[in-house]
Structure 1
Amino acid sequence: MSPTPVPPSRESFYLSLLVAFHILVIIASNYLVQLPIDLFGFHSTWGAFSFPFIFLATDLTVRLIGKAEARSVIARAMVPALIASYIVSVLFHEGRFNGMGALGEFNTFVFRIAFASFAAYVLGQLLDVQVFDRMRRGYVQWWIAPAASSVLGQALDTAAFFSVAFWRSSNPFMAEHWVEIALVDYVIKLSVSLLLFVPMYGVALNAIIRVMKRREALPTTA
């Protein structure tokens, strides 16, 4: 099934919205990953609940506009997200506002998290795009592509982020528990994606296609 055509006059607008959305979710996730939580006796972070939104947006982009355009969103979002993530994470390090003066001193720990997010985002999203596009063309069932891309894309994203951010970290807790946290984080993100975001993908896709078809059916005026 080929991507649903988006009017050229609106494509740039949609892509700009997607870039802004990606940057917003990355900033939020970089802040939330600093806030640990305990789930059923396992260590995790609140970032596990926010980042799957990006995979939903990417899969819809590939399906509705195309693989090349989805990669364009990733390319346009990654550097601004890195810079913004560092600034926000320094200002709100460990969940509290540290004042504008915190930006005057380079924070190695926070930059490492921001850079890890940058690497994980690029690797995970590019794999997600490739897997989704391949599976979408090979299978009739609509849910196979978003499910497969979530399983593989989020696995790479999680492994890259936690290994780069917290292996031999200056934070004793994260240095000791990052493998456990990464595994729990992946299970949570995958569960949220498969149980919530894959169905949301189907609902959103059908709704968007219906809106597009209605707009195409409207008579044009001279």
Structure 2
Amino acid sequence: MTSVQAPPSRVPFYLSALVAFHIAIIIASNYLVQLPISLLGYHSTWGAFSFPFIFLATDLTVRLIGKSPARRVITRAMLPALLASYVVGVLFHEGHFNGMAALGDFNSFVFRIALASFAAYVLGQLLDIQVFDRIRQKNRAWWLAPAAASVFGQALDTAAFFSIAFWRSIDPFMAANWQEIAVVDYVIKLAVSLLLFVPAYGVALAAVVRAMRRSSVPAVAVP
């Protein structure tokens, strides 16, 4: 698929929007991962359906702006996301509002989730960027780079998150089931990414290309 690079004057705006988007998805996912669900008899969490949005945004960032700006998005988003995830996780622990007074006591369970999310986000996104950019430069099939990046990036993200957050957790259910939940979570995220978000990536990229061409932005071929 032929694409265009974003004009340099618009890059700061895109970076700010992407940082805000990443932080919002991380906060939402850290809240939703506290809410277990059962699918066909297997344990998982609602967070499996929200987090793949970040990989879609990251892959579009690499395609339209480049690998280095995509890494800057991660650098700018990770610490605010860690803090915001902890605050939101404490205030809405176990799915209900606990009041501002809850912030007065340190919640080690929520902090582990926020810390795990921090580590998993950085590791998974950096691997996603590397895999996506390497394949993008060597293969012109538009779908191959986002598909491969999702397979590897989400595998590392899922393994890091669940092992850090729930190994020997104080929550008996998560401590006993985190490995099963991690596998099911990965399968769900991968299915959502390959069946929904990779096609959505193609649609979004084509829409961006058309919009830039209508704006008479000089096209620069991106492999």
Q: TM-score range by the shorter chain?
A: over 0.9
Structure-to-structure mapping, 1:117-132, within 5 angstroms? 117-132=117-132
Within the alignment, does 1:41 sit opposite 2:41 as a pair?
yes
* Cross-structure match for 2:212: 212
Task: Please provide the CA RMSD for this pair.
Answer: 1.4
Residue aligned with 1:216, SS: coil
Partner of 1:142, secondary structure, is: coil
Q: Which residue of 2 aligns with 1:155?
A: 155
More relative contact order in 1 or in 2 (CA 8 Å, sep 6+)?
Answer: 2
Secondary structure of residue in 2 paired with 1:38: strand
| Mapped pair 1:71 → 2:71 | yes
Is 1:101 aligned with 2:128? Answer: no
Deviation at 1:207, TM superposition (A): 0.4
Shift of 1:216: 1.6
Q: Runs of at least 4 residues of structure 1 off by over 2 A? A: 1-5
In the superposition, the TM-score normalised over structure 1's length comes to 0.96
Where 2:215 maps in the other structure, the secondary structure is helix
Shift of 1:111: 0.3
* Whole-angstrom distance in 2 between the partners of 1:46 and 1:109: 18
**Aligned residues: percent identity?**
75
Whether 2:7 is the aligned partner of 1:7: answer yes
Deviations for 1:112-147, whole angstroms, at most 9, x for unmatched residues? 000000000000000000000001111121100000
Q: Which runs of 5+ in 1 are unaligned?
A: none
Q: Is the contact between residue 4 and residue 65 of structure 1 (CA under 8 Å) also seen in structure 2?
A: no
CA contact (8 A) 2:3 2:205 kept: no
Q: Which runs of 5+ in 2 are unaligned?
A: 219-223
**1:4 to partner: Cα distance:** 2.8
Normalization by structure 2: what TM-score? 0.96
3-state SS in 1 of match to 2:168: coil
The match for 2:185 is 185
Separation of aligned partners in 1, 2:144 and 2:9: 31
Q: Secondary structure at the match of 1:37?
A: strand
Aligned partner of 2:221 in structure 1 is none
Structure-2 residue corresponding to 1:196: 196
For 1:15, give the aligned amino acid.
Answer: L
Give the residue type in structure 2 aligned to 1:86.
Y
